[in-house]
Structure 1
Amino acid sequence: MRVTRRTTAAGATAVAFVMTLAACGGTSAGEAGPSLRTHTDVGVYTWWAAGVEKTGLDALAEVFEKQHPDIEFVNDGVTGGGGSAAKDHLQSRLENQDPPDTFLVHAGAELEDYIKDGYVLDVSDLYEKYGLTEAFPKDLIERLSTDDGKIYSVPSNIHRANVMWANPTVLEDNGIDPSARYESIDAFITDLEKLDQAGVTPLSVGTTWTQVHLLETVLLGTLGPQAYNGLWNGSTDWTSAEVTAALENFKTLMSFTNSNREDIDWPDATKMVIDGEAAFNIMGDWAVSAFDEAEMTLGQGYVAVPSPGTAGSFDFLADSFTMTAGILDPESTEAWLQTISSKEGQVAFNKIKGSIPARTDVDRDEFTEYQRMAIKSFEEDTIVSSLAHGAAVPVAQLNAISEATRAFAGPSGHQDVARFQSDLAATAG
């Protein structure tokens, strides 16, 4: 398999080439330059540098090589750090006219700034060309589309954010039914108190972004899907009593979490449940890979249910890829988008990553029990957009919400719900 990484020198050459065009009155950063066919590769920018994410990317590269043997896949992303650091690095490259051919982004509002700044191109025509308007569900097409009906990315998968993972042995040892689903957060808090009194860490969580992830599921579980969606479309007042109740619930849940939360990320928080050091963890369904690697089976080694109060809702996000503006070879990027949207590409990738295909025409029997559950939920439940993963709000607003959450719940956090609510309301503009 020909998988290479574009070197710094190559990047510098690309910058010099773009600068030469600009000096000669060429295209601006917000416009697509001509396809000069000066290379037959595609530079793909992701933060998938380790674990199941890297394995999934490698699987996509293998499918790409089979489908497009004359185009070389180039891993043009970052080798370390998470999505937040990668997005900062990507922004620097875009601003300095050194764009990757295509980059990973979360479908939805996260794309708004890239569209406004002219860094990505409309790929709506590819949806018609490759039959994606029929292969993808209507709800997904609506979430991918802007107000003027254009689409600027192609999803490789769909993830569910509102999943609660539990260790059934820990629950049974403390007199808690591991098969129970929590219809309300109040009922969940009752069992957290029981675990806390027994000296067990009730709920594991990690650094700030995982706390924002927890916050969104608490907002959804307290408000319900309609009022939760209203936070992002303006129909729910951030200063209302129902939001106050949700933030009080968040404060209570955070009081039952591990003391080392600021020092760990989601894999370690999930591992606490796997190892029996914590009873519950609320995280997206990429966490299923950790249980699979530990050779634990659903229903016996671990439990996966909707987070408290969110049964009947599917908290949506999707890993998606763009056609970057100003690149040398749009045809190679189109080939990559064709592969990740193809049935073969989606099956190969999602079988590894634990997410579900965006396509509806795949054989469900190829997927795990959890994935079949998620496919059914996406078909039947109310779809809402994830806050922490870019589907609900633009990057700037998510950053402001993250800062407010850190000030409230982080080291030396003020723990003042009224102040937290005011800070969150201010992020909505």
Structure 2
Amino acid sequence: MRSIKWLSVLLVVLLALGVGIGAGAQDEEISGDLEIFSWWTGGGEEAGLNALIERFAELYPNVTVTNSAVAGGSGVNARAVLVTRMLGGDPPDTFQVHAGEELNALWVDAGLMQPLNELFEANGWLDTYPQGLLDLISDAEGNLYSVPVNIHRSNVLWYVPANLEEWGVAVPADWDEFVNVTCPALQDQGVTPISVAENWTQAHLWESIALAVLGVEAYNGLWTGATDWTSPEATAVWETFDAVLACSNDDRNSLAWQDASLMVAEGTAAFNIMGDWAAGYFLVDLALEPNEGFAWAASPATDGAFMMLSDTFGLPMAAPNQTATLAWLDFLGSAEAQDIFNPLKGSLPANTDADITNPELYNAYFQDAFAAWTNDAIVGSQAHGAVAPQAFTNGFATIIATFASDRDAASAAANSATLALQTGLGM
């Protein structure tokens, strides 16, 4: 069990949140039901969540955890279920949400989340979490609303070294090389140059292309209003996206992200752009060795930039078991929990007290990603909620789907500009 010192801290936090506590509560064990809502149902992410729940059950044996994970990559289906529940007055005790606008524009601005400042202060997390990440989970008054469990990199190109050698191609330096040199060389051999899956993975690919075409400053400008969505440079993103999609598999809309990753591992496709949860899939599900069974590079022409996202969990206003939820959040933010979870998930720990330099926990991929995280320019992921409100993300999914059919770059750029205006992006 957690120490009496921690229980004392918990009482302070509960009192700050206005949660009623009876006399002698400090001596009572934390108990009851705890519903954890997420979209972690496959790959290393499911294994990581299960490992967290197993350890939490050891710490709090009188808490019964319900794992209410909803299948669907990047939380597309889970968010729809969550909106219905939250607005219907039936929130889970805690739920997965991306740091940034997905958290703030949807849940914090609606007044549906409780601040967690006391929890952060009691654990010293204001010193052990990067300030840039703290900013993504805070409001203008400095209130903190969720506990980050990881850092993911979005702009990663995955491949199998031996396959590239067999096919006589190299990792492309930029998208021009990929489209004009790499793609035809692979197609001539009957190999799919790049595997792509369902709609959200196409938006994920788009943002890596946008970063490459625009560069860090202009990419950031899309979300602040400094970059015109209809400029020649922004329209060129769609033109490049069109050329890349022409090098991909025709059945992409019927595939999950794991299917697209598997195409690379099995040698039917050469490359895939996916976040580093793919590392968890390669390591845990497929039991592949880094730099042998799979390898990685920054997506073409984005070397020196780290496109980030972070999975977090918060405390809804009407959470049924707030005491158990706070115990879960306290555990989730600890170095212990992050060292349990992230090697399985394929992500970096958000808490800098975690044992990231331990090669027995964090293999070659993680060491490389950590070096990039600490040295590269950091930009936020649109596809995963860091830089744009959910209303924009939802509308942008429709623009991506329309573009995949009509391939009209000028129309996609104009529709994106209209959507940005309608959803208040950059204002």
**TM-score, normalised by the number of residues in structure 2:** 0.87
Report the CA distance between 1:168 and its aligned residue: 2.2
Is the Cα contact below 8 Å between 1:156 and 1:358 reproduced in 2? yes
Identity %: 39
Matched-pair contact (CA < 8 Å) for 2:280–2:343: no
Q: Structure 1: any 5+ residue segments left out of the alignment?
A: 1-31
Encode CA deviations 1:227-283: one digit per residue, 9 max, x unaligned.
111111111111111111111111100010001111111100011000100000000
Alignment of 1:231-270 (within 5 A): 231-270=222-261
Letter of the aligned partner of 1:191 in structure 2?
A: T
| Structure 2 equivalent of residue 200 of structure 1 | 191
Are 1:407 and 2:399 matched, yes or no? Answer: no
Q: For structure 1, which segment, 112-121 or 243-252, has the greater mean C-alpha deviation from structure 2 after superposition?
A: 112-121
Asked whether the equivalents of residues 34 and 328 of structure 1 are also in contact (C-alpha less than 8 Å), the reply is no
Determine if the alignment matches structure 1 residue 383 to structure 2 residue 359.
Answer: no
SS at match of 1:384: strand
CA contact (8 A) 2:159 2:295 kept: yes
The equivalent residue for 1:140 is 133
One-letter code of the match for 1:91? V
Q: CA deviation at 1:63?
A: 2.4
Match for 2:155 among 150, 157, 162? 162
Confirm whether residue 291 of structure 1 aligns to residue 282 of structure 2. yes
- For 1:281, the equivalent position in structure 2 comes to 272
- The residue type paired with residue 394 of structure 2 is N
1:231 partner amino acid: L
Q: Show the counterpart of 2:175.
A: 185
2: CA distance, partners of 1:420 / 1:197: 31
Stretches of structure 2 that go unaligned for 5 or more consecutive residues are 1-16, 23-29, 422-427
Distance in 2 of aligned mates of 1:152 and 1:386: 19
8 A Cα contact 1:202 1:257, kept in partner: yes
CA contact (8 A) 1:181 1:305 kept: no
2:41, 2:70 within 8 Å by CA — same for their partners in 1?
yes
Distance in 1 (alpha carbons) for counterparts of 2:377 and 2:161: 28
SS for the counterpart of 1:428 is helix
- Range 142-151 or range 358-367, more displaced: 142-151
Tell me how far apart the structure 2 counterparts of residues 398 and 404 of structure 1 sit (CA, whole Å). 10
Q: What's the CA shift string for 1:87-119, capped at 9, x where partnerless?
A: 111111111111111111111110111112222
2:35 aligned partner: 43
The amino acid that maps onto 1:218 is I
Count of residues in Structure 1 that have an aligned counterpart in Structure 2: 391
The equivalent residue for 1:304 is: 296
Letter in 2 for 1:168: P
Q: SS at the partner of 2:406?
A: coil
Select the residue among 351, 355, 374 that pairs with 1:359. 351
Greater mean alpha carbon deviation, residues 259-268 or residues 193-202: 193-202
Does residue 53 (structure 1) correspond to residue 45 (structure 2)? The answer is yes
Measured after TM superposition, the shift of residue 43 of structure 1 is 1.7
1:362 Cα shift?
2.1
Provide the C-alpha distance between the structure 2 equivalents of 1:416 and 1:215, rounded to a whole number of angstroms.
15
Between 61-70 and 358-367, report the one with greater CA deviation. 61-70
- 1:97 aligned residue: 89
TM-score with structure 1 length normalisation? 0.87
CA shift, 1:299, in A, is 2.2
SS in 1 for 2:307: strand
The offset of 1:288, in angstroms, is 1.0
Q: CA deviation at 1:39?
A: 6.1
8 Å contact from structure 1 (residues 271, 290) kept in 2: no
Report if aligned partners of 1:127, 1:133 keep a CA contact under 8 Å in 2: yes
